[in-house]
Amino acid sequence: MKKYNVALIGTGFMGKAHSIATAVVPILFGAPVEIERKVVVDIDEELAQNAAKQYGFTEYATDWRDVVNRPDIDIIDICTPNDTHAEIAIAAALAGKHVMCEKPMSMTVEEAQRMQEAARETGVVTMVSYNYRHTPAVQMAKRLIEEGRIGDILNFRGYYLQDWGADPELPLSWRFNKAKAGSGTLGDIGTHVIDAARLLVGEFASVNSIVKTFIPERPLPAGRFFGPAGQASSERGKVDVDDAALTMIKFTNGVYGTIEVTRNAWGHHNQLGFEIYGTKGSIAFDYQRLNELRVAFADDPKDAFGFRTIYSGPHQPFGDKLWPVAGMGQGYIDIKSIEWYNFLKAIAEKGQASPNFDDGLQIERIADAILTSGVSGEWEEIEQPA
């Protein structure tokens, strides 16, 4: 079996999560290809050196360009801020490396198109890290929909609510800076809901949105721009990205829906969820209870009618590879591990991963239309995949 050497670019929170996942995949699933965590990269040499020790990589480096062009590197794992995704991914794809890229895929639709073109030119396997779609309960929802258990879909209601941005004294990190992030709440968490809606319902035809910035300025960070929250100076800087977005959706298949996303919802730490209503039943999911899928079917007996809970376990997707008892519990790293398993499986089978750069481009088109509608107040049509 060929061994694939992985280079991780970025040592922050997501770099840590990806590192744990790549370590765990062989244990949980028996990796479809053998991998070695070869080199970790950060522009700060001390961070790179520390990450190599902590995350279990053989080497560290400070220049991603040198690493991308190394003949012994097979997979590039991009866990850097949004403004660097396109440059790294394009260089990696043109160098013949398979690419895992954190979301959002890019800063603009144009960047995403160039990333897609580079990957298509060389035929490398790509994945955009919309990890929540790999949650077994979400995959179970997809199975129930495909089996016709809730009939024809009528309506989708999605949301992602966080509260970490609600404090006006939280320092102005890169996530509040358009030049680094591209957009705010929409790109950071809203694209996860867009991905779920595409996975479960279908393509977006048009959107009509309200996009708001509630906190127009924040304290500048006292330390590194990418440093931990809580370090603030006395100076303040402008917030030039969105804090919240509320979107109405028309899907190409005639379904209607809404998406609400905000980082200013006190009490909601990480509440990604959706409800889908069909002609024969309903499905509801909340990531804060990620081991549960709530369902209601129209043909249930009247004396027992209502939502009931399906617990993730050995009979749900990937359950046979995780834990043997329903309700035993899955967590964030389990989901990241499933994501990496799917990516490596696509490499082994010389197929396409999902979501790949084609999906990432379409999500960027939808996000761009939402932001445009937030300014125009009009329904914005969305270019469909080729």
Give the pTM: 0.94
CA distance 97 to 77: 10
CA distance 143 to 385: 24
Domains of the chain: residue spans and CATH? 4-131 (3.40.50.720), 133-330+360-380 (3.30.360.10)
CA distance 36 to 27: 14
Instruction: Please identify which residue in the block is written with the tokens 């937030």.
Output: 374
Q: Do 56 and 24 meet the contact criterion of CB atoms below 8 Å apart? A: no
Distance from the Cα of residue 110 to its chain's centroid: 20
Q: pLDDT tens-digit profile of 38-81?
A: 999 999 999 999 999 999 999 999 999 999 999 999 999 999 99
51: amino acid identity, one letter: A
CA distance 289 to 150: 21
Fill in the DSSP letter of residue 52.
H
Instruction: Please identify which residue in the block is written with the tokens 């290809």.
Output: 33
Q: Which residues pair with 160 in a beta bridge?
A: 261, 272
CA distance 115 to 118: 5
CA distance 53 to 345: 27
Question: pLDDT tens string for the chain (386 positions)?
Answer: 689 999 999 999 999 999 999 999 999 988 788 999 999 999 999 999 999 999 999 999 999 999 999 999 999 999 999 999 999 999 999 999 999 999 999 999 999 999 999 999 999 999 999 999 999 999 999 999 999 999 999 999 999 999 999 999 999 888 998 988 889 999 999 999 999 999 999 999 999 999 999 999 999 987 654 444 557 777 899 999 999 999 999 999 999 999 999 999 999 999 999 999 999 999 999 999 999 999 999 999 999 899 999 999 888 888 888 888 887 888 999 999 999 999 999 999 999 999 999 999 999 999 999 999 999 999 999 999 98
Angle, helix 136-146 to helix 191-200, in steps of 10 degrees: 30
Phi, psi dihedrals of residue 250, rounded to the nearest 5°: -110, 120
Phi, psi dihedrals of residue 284, rounded to the nearest 5°: -135, 140
Distance from the Cα of residue 347 to its chain's centroid: 20
The 10 Å Cβ neighbour count of residue 384 is 11
The terminus-to-terminus CA distance of the chain in angstroms comes to 36
CA distance 343 to 351: 10
